């Protein structure tokens, strides 16, 4: 598989007994040839805050991209977050990618409520927040958007790279596809069918060119839940347990919404290859294993079936 390969750090607190081992997980992924390591964000359930996690990974890794999958900016003060992201960008010497989202209906309303942010106009707020970050990183002192407006901004920490870290969008609704092509640097969805991925990517590229951007302005990526096992039935039971723990929903429901695959190495590799053929150039794997030790085992298995030679970094 010639696509870039990433892995999501274990998210559920049952998956790590010592949070410091999560940094070891990221280092191990880099040594196995993974191209990126990602941290997840939510206020539902205990977990290590993603920007703190990436800041911890920055000095102990050298090559891998460090990303959020996804960050929910509505839960944070936008000016402060711009400084935090610029700081991680500096600590990692420009290896940060920020994938953002607006949350999930039926799940995220409580997160918005405790963050004292209205659920309404959340997509406009998200786009404004990203535009504000870019303005702050560029040294601008005012910002006026549709939802956020500031007549006077403080001098803020500039980003490591001119223009700031790449900002990707997670989502595959028609409006998300249009906004991705028009405003964002990358696309990280999880459609359960590679054909839907191909159709979505076509729409993103059309939106990009309609906005006067190059068709390839948006990096095409995929978020997929993976478990390598020779026991297919047992693997699906593990996926079911994972979905119920993570979402409170059965696997049969989640699989209609998200890309998920459990099975022998050949089956997993073939599934990922179909998404690559549909245009995905960066695959971010979430490992559906219940413990950190099991995740580490899977980390090696996935590297073995997707890298030209396990332990050797692929080209960027």
Provide CB contacts within 8 A for 221, sequence distance 6+.
6, 168, 186, 187, 188, 280, 281, 282, 283, 284
* Structural domains in the chain (count): 1
- Is 213 within the bounds of a domain? yes
CATH code assigned at 161: 3.20.20.30
- Is 314 within the bounds of a domain? no
Domain region containing 171 = 4-306
- Is 313 within the bounds of a domain? no
- Is 145 within the bounds of a domain? yes
- Is 110 within the bounds of a domain? yes
**pLDDT for res 1:** 58
- Is 316 within the bounds of a domain? no
- Tokens in use for 44? 């539902």
- Is 147 within the bounds of a domain? yes
- Is 88 within the bounds of a domain? yes
pLDDT by position in tens, the chain (length 316): 579 999 999 987 777 778 899 999 999 999 999 999 999 999 988 889 999 999 999 999 999 999 999 999 999 999 999 999 999 999 999 999 999 999 989 889 999 999 999 999 999 999 999 999 999 999 999 999 999 999 999 999 999 999 999 999 999 999 999 999 999 999 999 999 999 999 999 999 999 999 999 999 999 999 999 999 999 999 999 999 999 988 889 999 999 999 999 999 999 999 999 999 999 999 999 999 999 999 999 999 999 998 754 334 443 3
């Amino acid at each position: 598989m010639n696509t870039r390969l990433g892995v999501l750090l274990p998210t559920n607190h049952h998956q790590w007994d010592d949070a410091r081992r999560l940094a070891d997980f990221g280092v191990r992924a880099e040594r196995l040839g993974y191209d990126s390591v990602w941290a997840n964000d939510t206020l539902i359930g205990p977990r290590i805050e993603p920007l703190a996690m990436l800041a911890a990974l920055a000095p102990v890794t050298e090559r891998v991209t460090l990303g959020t999958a996804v960050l929910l900016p509505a839960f944070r003060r936008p000016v402060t977050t711009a400084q935090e992201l610029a700081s991680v960008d500096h600590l990692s010497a420009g290896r940060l990618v920020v994938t953002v989202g607006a949350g999930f209906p039926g799940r995220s309303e409580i997160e918005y409520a405790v963050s004292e942010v209205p659920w309404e106009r959340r997509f406009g707020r998200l786009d404004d927040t990203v535009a504000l970050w870019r303005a702050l990183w560029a040294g601008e002192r005012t910002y006026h958007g549709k939802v956020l407006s500031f007549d006077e901004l403080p001098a803020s920490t500039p980003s490591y790279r001119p223009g700031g870290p790449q900002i990707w969008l997670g989502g595959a609704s028609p409006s998300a596809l249009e906004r991705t092509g028009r405003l964002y640097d990358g696309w990280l969805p999880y459609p359960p069918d590679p054909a839907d991925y191909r159709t979505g990517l076509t729409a993103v590229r059309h939106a990009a060119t309609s906005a006067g951007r190059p068709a390839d302005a948006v990096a095409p990526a995929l978020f997929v839940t993976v478990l390598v096992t020779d026991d297919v039935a047992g693997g699906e039971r593990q996926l079911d347990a994972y979905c119920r723990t993570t979402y409170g929903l059965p696997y049969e429901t989640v699989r209609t919404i998200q890309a998920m695959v459990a099975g022998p190495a050949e089956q997993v590799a073939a599934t990922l290859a179909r998404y690559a053929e549909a245009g995905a150039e960066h695959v971010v794997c979430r490992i559906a294993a219940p413990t950190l030790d099991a995740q580490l085992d899977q980390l090696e298995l996935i590297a073995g079936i997707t890298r030209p030679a396990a332990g050797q970094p692929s080209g960027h």
